[in-house]
């Protein structure tokens, strides 16, 4: 290898910087080759292509420019050895910069290589336990009562709309009656046999809502704790792509609510670039959490089992009905099952509580 004393420095976002110097002797060894190639390509007045004298070609190109090309040729021919020696495996095109390439002088260089993302996390189960222990106590009874009120308000509003009995001031009245059980008439409009049957249904829905809310709080607390504890390095492009995916999801959500994306941007006083920039921190956390989970899956040797097959088929079948390709649907289903197994490990859930 024609390059010595290379320094390696790790930077954020999975970037590795390799810097060094190419000796003028090494560059000079490529001078004739570079000059010859220039002679074949250049067209000078009074000469056919490839027939101009070398001195005229060098003058036209400039010695410094050709010296620069010769330097790049030395570096490119040494890249494989450089990466092998310094254990660098780039996953994207390299960035190469030369500092002050002057003819007949050594040239300093810097290579920026983007490598695969990494994430290390230690004692993840202890981190999760502490995060759960630090969560404020939940008033289950109040949460349950609030959920029932919210469902009643929603149900009464729908009932009135279906009967065509919407009047000014109804919203306030419905809110004030949130503690009052549904009447038989109100329940029947919604397809229930009686108010009692609806209230029984409401009881179960409220339990599920509280359970889901508590589960989301636990997951959010654990996720934030893991992100804080982990050491992750993610390429900028990965974050950019995830942020774009989040923007697309936001667009779909806006359209599903009957709004135009352009109108949404006007109302928010932002353009799409601003929305993208706002979502980048969220995108980075999402990518990092995926990497953390992958690390836990690897460490714990977590994988779907034969007992998970029916669940996989159910999830994939639902996705296929929405137009997702068969193999992709099954791949996503397996990922979801494995992800839930990681959550169960971290939260301490029983195995029979499967993902729905």
Written as six digits, the tokens of 255 are 């359209």
3-state secondary structure 58-69: HHHHCHHHHHHH
Fold of 3-116: Alpha-Beta Plaits (3.30.70)
Which helix (H) or strand (E) covers residue 244, if one does? helix 236-256
Specify whether the CB–CB gap between 341 and 296 falls below 8 A: no
* Residue 292 CB neighbour total at 10 angstroms: 21
* CATH 3.30.70.1050 domain locations along the chain: 3-116
- pLDDT tens for the 356 residues of the chain, in order: 678 789 999 999 999 999 999 999 999 999 999 998 888 887 788 787 777 888 888 888 899 999 999 999 999 999 999 999 999 999 999 999 999 899 999 999 999 999 999 999 999 999 999 999 999 988 889 999 999 999 999 888 888 788 777 666 677 888 888 889 999 998 998 999 999 999 999 999 999 999 999 999 999 999 999 999 999 999 999 999 999 999 999 999 999 888 899 999 998 999 999 999 999 999 999 999 999 999 999 999 999 998 899 999 999 999 998 888 999 999 999 999 999 999 999 998 644 344 43
Global pTM reads 0.80
């Amino acid at each position: 290898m024609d390059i010595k004393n290379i320094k390696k420095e790790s930077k954020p976002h999975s970037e590795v910087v390799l810097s060094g110097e190419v000796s003028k002797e090494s560059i000079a060894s490529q001078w004739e080759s570079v000059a010859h190639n220039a002679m074949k390509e250049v067209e000078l007045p009074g000469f056919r292509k490839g027939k101009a004298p070398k001195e005229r070609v060098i003058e036209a190109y400039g010695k410094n420019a050709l010296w620069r090309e010769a330097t790049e040729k030395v570096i490119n021919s040494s890249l494989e050895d450089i990466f092998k020696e310094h254990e660098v495996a780039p996953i994207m095109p390299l960035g190469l910069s030369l500092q002050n390439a002057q003819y007949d002088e050594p040239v300093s260089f810097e290579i920026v290589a983007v490598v695969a993302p990494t994430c290390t996390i230690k004692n993840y189960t202890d981190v999760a336990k502490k995060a759960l222990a630090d969560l404020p106590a939940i008033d289950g009874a109040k949460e349950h009562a609030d959920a029932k009120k919210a469902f009643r308000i929603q149900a009464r509003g729908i009932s009135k709309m279906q009967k065509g009995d919407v009047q000014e001031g109804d919203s306030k009245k419905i809110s004030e009656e949130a503690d009052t059980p549904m009447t038989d008439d109100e329940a029947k409009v919604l397809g229930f046999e009686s108010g009692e049957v609806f209230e029984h249904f409401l009881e179960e829905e409220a339990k599920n809502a509280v359970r889901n809310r508590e589960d989301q709080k636990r997951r959010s607390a654990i996720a934030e704790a893991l992100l804080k504890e982990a050491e992750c390095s993610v390429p900028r492009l990965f974050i950019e792509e995830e942020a774009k995916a989040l923007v697309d999801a936001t667009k779909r959500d806006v359209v599903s609510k009957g709004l135009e994306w352009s109108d949404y941007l006007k109302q928010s006083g932002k353009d799409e670039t601003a929305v993208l920039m706002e979502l980048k921190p969220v995108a980075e956390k999402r990518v990092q959490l995926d990497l953390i989970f992958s690390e836990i899956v690897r460490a714990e040797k977590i994988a779907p089992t034969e007992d998970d097959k029916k669940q996989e088929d159910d999830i994939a079948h639902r996705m296929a009905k929405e137009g997702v390709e068969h193999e992709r649907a099954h791949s996503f289903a397996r990922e979801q099952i494995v992800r839930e197994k990681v959550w169960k490990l971290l939260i301490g859930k029983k195995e029979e509580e499967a993902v729905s």
